[in-house]
Amino acid sequence: MSLPADRNDTDDDGFRVSLEGATLPDFVQMECLANSNRVFRITSGHRIGYMFFNKGQVIHALTGDHVGESAALEILKWRDGSVEPCNVGWPDAPTIGSTWQNLLILSAQARDESGNHRLVSFPGNRNVVAAQRATDTTKLAKREEPPMSAPPSSQSLSLAQFQAFVRLDPAGKIVSAKGDSEEFAPVAAYTARLAELIGNLLGMDGFGSLECSFPKERVFLHRERSGNLVAIKLPAEAEVGALRERFGI
């Protein structure tokens, strides 16, 4: 699945709205129902996150510590702050496979389980959310438009399975990370550089990805179109079909 490299869909047309008392789930619901294709910066205190909407789905999210679904769920926990559209680089591929409905349900469940349930929906949408909660969540777990070439099981790969994850900008600065990034980031950056040099010597430009298989783990590196380097370490037994497809390996 490809995404436009950059979009400037922050239309000048329309109202600028400031809503007191609205929650992030309300906002996500509105954007998704409007088939939004935009990126939003969410600020809550000192925390900043980004949510990427494409064709009415949340396809990517980013916080200081998380990427993908876990980042979206973290953002949805935030109780106050501000939301504004922004222009940041889109990911090469979606990092969230769940539907927006499922994200909201998971978020609501997390709040229920933490004993701090304060989810407030717009009056007209309460029934929708309630009905969705009653639905078997496994049916909503994935979108009904999987890539034909990827087996269903390979789509279940999530950040939780990664032993380590790090995204570095072209200057080597850590943009986001999970796990032991202090040890992993230098290895990833050095390996990617050597791979590029090896490619240059052999007349092969455009280093894209690397997969390295160890007896107990696998390491993936991927150079994004933005120039950022994504590095992932996961157990050898993890299903990696989706990652390979995404990274073209």
33 binds another protein (CB under 8 A): no
Q: Which stretch binds another protein (CB under 8 A): 6-14, 79-87, 112-120, 203-211?
A: 203-211
Instruction: Rule CB under 8 A: say whether 146 interacts with another protein.
Output: no
**SS3 state at 98:** coil
**216 binds another protein, rule: CB under 8 A:** yes
Instruction: Based on the shown chain and the rule CB under 8 A, indicate whether residue 149 belongs to the binding site for another protein.
Output: no
- DSSP states of 147-215: -TTS-GGGGG--GGG-SEEEEE-TTS-EEEEESSHHHHHHHHHHHHHHHHHHHHHTT-----EEEEE-S
When asked if residue 215 is in the footprint of another protein (CB under 8 A), the reply is yes
- Cα(111)–Cα(96) distance, integer angstroms: 20
Contact in structure between 85 and 124 (CB atoms under 8 Å): no
Measured from the CB atom, the residue of 16 and 216 that comes closer to another protein is: 216
Binding mask 183-202 toward another protein (x if CB under 8 A, else -) reads ----x--xx--xx-xxx-xx
Asked if 210 touches another protein (CB under 8 A), the answer is: yes
Strand partners for 39: 52, 86
Q: Does 241 bind another protein (CB under 8 A)?
A: no
Among 22, 208, 226, 238, binds another protein (CB under 8 A): 208
Binding span for another protein by CB under 8 A among 19-27, 58-66, 141-149, 205-213: 205-213
**Ramachandran region, residue 58 (left: φ > 0; alpha: ψ -120 to 50; beta: rest):** beta
Record the tokens describing residue 244, joined without a space: 């390979």
Phi-psi region of 92 (alpha: psi -120 to 50; beta: other; left: phi over 0): alpha
**3-class DSSP state of 85:** strand
> Rule CB under 8 A: is residue 137 a binding residue for another protein?
no
Q: Which of 15/214 has CB closer to another protein?
A: 214
| Residues of this chain that bind another protein (CB under 8 A) | 187, 190-191, 194-195, 197-199, 201-217, 219, 247-249
